Amino acid sequence: MSALANDSERDAVDQVMQKMMRGFESGDPNLILEVLRRDGVVVGYSAPRGSVVTQSAEEWANGFTGKPAADEALRKRSYEILEVGRDAAIVKVTLDYPRWDGLDYLALSKIDGKWMIVSKSWSGQSKPAAP
């Protein structure tokens, strides 16, 4: 892939991620589902359950209420596009919330000419409540 084409694909992945971040901020599942395939998968290890938890991307997205979280102003998020290929990309997302430190890896695929998130692998740990 030429450098120019790669820059164009990276820009397209960045647009997907900007929309995903707006979805996190707004709590809007519809916005998230514009860039997250409903038939995708969300997977991570839940320490309280002692097991790996999987759910469809649609189930995960529908856990958003449509409103920002009460502590949204205190939540910090960032992402880094690690790799963009012809039709696959990997993005690292860091979540620093008042009660959660998280790290997600998102796999994107270019499907019918459109970049979509097809899987979300999450990890993290709860933080103690602030005094």
Q: Phi and psi at residue 48, in whole multiples of 5°? A: -60, -35
**pLDDT digit string (tens) for 29-73?**
999 999 999 999 999 999 889 999 999 999 999 999 999 999 999
Q: What is the pTM of this model?
A: 0.91
- 75-125 pLDDT, tens per residue? 999 999 999 999 999 999 999 999 999 999 999 999 999 999 999 999 999
The answer to whether residue 38 sits within a structural domain is yes
User: What domain range includes position 61?
Assistant: 3-126
In a domain, 131, yes or no: no
- Identify the CATH number of the domain in which residue 21 sits: 3.10.450.50
Q: Which helix (H) or strand (E) holds 60?
A: helix 57-61
The structural domain count of the chain equals 1
Q: Is residue 45 part of a domain?
A: yes
